[in-house]
Amino acid sequence: MSDNSIFLFNPLPWERELSGPVADHVVTPRGVPDDETAGRHFQDRDRRRRRSAGFADSEDIETLFSLNGYYLPSTSVPGYGWTSVPVEDLIQLENQPFDERSTVETERYVLTFDRDRGGIMSWHDKERECEWVDESAEYPLAGFVHEVVADTETDRPRKRLFDYDPDVEGTFPAVAGLLDSDRGFRSDWHARRSGPDRVRRHRVYDVPEGYRVRQTLVTPQVESDVVLEFFVPDEDDTIVVNAEWVMGLRTDPEATYLAFPFALDDPTPHIDVGGQAMQPGPDQLDRSVYDYYTVQHWADLSDDNRGMTVGCPLNPLVQFGDFHFADNQQGFDLERPLLLGWVTNNYWDTNFRAHQPGRVQARYHLSPHDEFDEASAHATGLEATHYEPLAQTGGEGTVDDPPLAGTGQFLDLPEPPVLVTQIRPVDADTGIFHPELDSSADRDDAMIVDLRNASDSPTTAHIGHGTIEVSTAERTDPTGKVVEADLEVAGDGVTVEFNARETVTLRLEPST
């Protein structure tokens, strides 16, 4: 690669169109070979993390969403591969114009934004001829909700939510009888919920490949305004919701949410639990928690005709149907097609501090689809997790003859329903990703690849040669103990068979 290029990497198995902001320090780095005295320690911190977490000015919050800088236009990158992009191909944004219209239209969607409460009040899908927002709901789509214990005048508001009295039978049992007694949490606690006072600012920016709609919400419940930003693409189906705000030193019990009321007819929920699509209720053990759920990459609500997969790359906690914390439900019942992104709370009654001040970031990817398909949901969740372009400067100059130039693919990996859950070198210090090191007896170039069949049927998966050509393959257990040695490696790679829901670990030895 030349010094005036950037290196893009795609960690997912399928070819993707990558686009989005590229950090200044990638385009114009310090510490390149002709600047040997300059340090680059700052490169492990993006522009958001470099800012103080203690600010409360809404103008400061908005700068985190700055549209100025470098933008990568849609660029095709092979699955588990790379490509180099000349710096001159990047788009430099500065002082983007905006307007205040409430409706944004693309070839696929017509969205109307709520300029009083924030969020989306209507999302019309022209292709499916349907509405995605439940217009009868109490909250708009991506509406901000703040929840507190209603009685804050008492000396200990937390006791309204949780009351631990070891002298009263049944309030907090001994561990041996925990499953046979009531909990300390009060299932009928009195909550007060509120939204923004008003929308201070609503702006629509016409940006490369779509629109960015930014709303600044006046929210005295937290330490700053809440900034909501929506990316509405010209061509892609997925709408991305970003939110930022600052939490303070409040110790009273409180929680924050983004509400997603969908216009679906008696939908069925699914969530991603470590590569398994789990249906709340039927797929849970008796006496499991039904009040809230932790998801890996995605959650989904689908009826018989259509549905919505919500990618959750940053915020794994969700609730379904209504606000349910401490309800102690004994089964699952979806009251309405509502998904709650549960962003923050301090509802614990342990020795953690009662406040968690600082900046909060939330991001959700909303992807409409027809009938629910687990493999597609996994792909959608992984796309959300790896949303931002993974880029590095092409001017490192540490290898005389760089082995990675132009466009290429390390390995041809399987796609969903087979999930690639891990790829790692056996020896990270001397292995295959250090090509400048000479081979020696103690060098180990082998790679470990973990695969999971995320389906209810047996299947096969194929790992094809790329820049890394596989010479031998073994099947191991998770600890590295060989289960099946000398798997057949053909001219096009190695093939492995799976049972339903099986996880397989392979040790691959590349050709030297």
7's enclosing H/E stretch is: strand 5-10
70 and 22 co-located in one domain = yes
CATH of the domain at 208: 2.70.98.30
Q: How far apart are CA 128 and CA 469, in angstroms?
A: 44
Can you give the pLDDT of all 512 residues of the chain as single tens digits? 446 889 999 999 999 999 999 988 888 877 666 665 655 555 555 444 434 333 444 555 555 556 778 999 999 999 999 999 999 999 998 888 899 999 999 999 999 999 999 999 999 999 999 999 999 999 999 999 999 999 988 888 888 888 766 555 554 444 444 444 466 788 889 999 999 999 999 999 999 999 999 999 999 999 999 999 999 999 999 999 999 999 999 999 999 999 999 999 999 999 999 999 999 999 999 989 999 999 999 999 999 999 999 999 999 999 999 999 999 999 999 999 999 999 999 998 778 888 889 999 999 999 999 999 999 999 999 999 999 999 988 876 655 666 677 899 999 999 999 999 999 888 766 555 555 555 555 667 889 999 999 999 999 999 999 999 999 999 999 888 899 999 999 999 999 999 999 999 999 999 86
Specify whether the CB–CB gap between 277 and 299 falls below 8 A: no
- Same structural domain, 299 and 195: yes
Contacts of 410 (CB under 8 A, 6+ apart): 80, 81, 82, 466, 467, 468
In the beta sheet, which residues pair with residue 494? 463, 489
CATH code for the domain of 473: 2.60.40
* Cα torsion angle, 453, 456, 458, 462, sign: negative
Whether residue 460 is contained in a domain is answered as yes
Q: Are residues 346 and 294 in the same domain?
A: yes
C-alpha 356/C-alpha 348 separation (Å) is: 12
**Using CA atoms, how far apart are residues 42 and 138, in angstroms rounded to an integer?**
44
Same domain for 236 and 345? yes
Residues whose CB is less than 8 angstroms from the CB of residue 351 and which lie 6 or more positions away in sequence, other chains included: none
Q: Which domain holds residue 451?
A: 411-510
Q: Following CA atoms 371, 374, 377, 382 in sequence, which dihedral angle do they give, to the nearest 10 degrees?
A: -170
| Contacts for 457 with CB less than 8 Å, ≥ 6 apart | 500
Residue 116 lies in a domain: no
- Please tell me whether residues 331 and 465 are part of one structural domain: no
DSSP SS3 for 290: coil
Residues 218 and 354 occupy one common structural domain: yes
User: Which tokens sit at 270?
Assistant: 């699914």
217 and 330 belong to one structural domain: yes
Specify the number of domains making up the chain.
3
Is there a domain that residue 169 lies in?
no
CB 247 within 8 A of CB 356: yes
For 437-452, what is each residue's pLDDT tens digit?
555 556 678 899 999 9
Total H helices, total E strands in the chain: 3, 36
- The C-alpha atoms of residue 8 and residue 84 are separated, in whole angstroms, by 6
Instruction: Give the Cα separation of 414 and 192 in Å (integer).
Output: 48
Q: Are residues 311 and 232 in the same domain?
A: yes
67 & 144 share domain? no
Alpha carbons 220 and 275: distance in angstroms, whole number: 39
What are 27's two structure tokens?
């385009």
Q: Can you say how many angstroms the Cα of residue 60 is from the centroid of all Cα atoms in its chain?
A: 24
pLDDT digits (tens, 9 = 90+) for 197-245: 999 999 999 999 999 999 999 999 999 999 999 999 999 999 999 999 9
Residues in the chain: 512
Phi first, then psi: what are they for 41, rounded to 5°?
-60, -25
Tell me how far apart the alpha carbons of residues 413 and 306 are, in angstroms, rounded to a whole number.
Answer: 30
Single out the residue of 149, 52, 53, 148 nearest to residue 357, CA to CA: 53
* 81 neighbors 408 (Cβ within 8 angstroms): yes
- For residues 359 and 427, state if they share a domain: no
pTM of the model: 0.91
351 and 462 belong to one structural domain: no
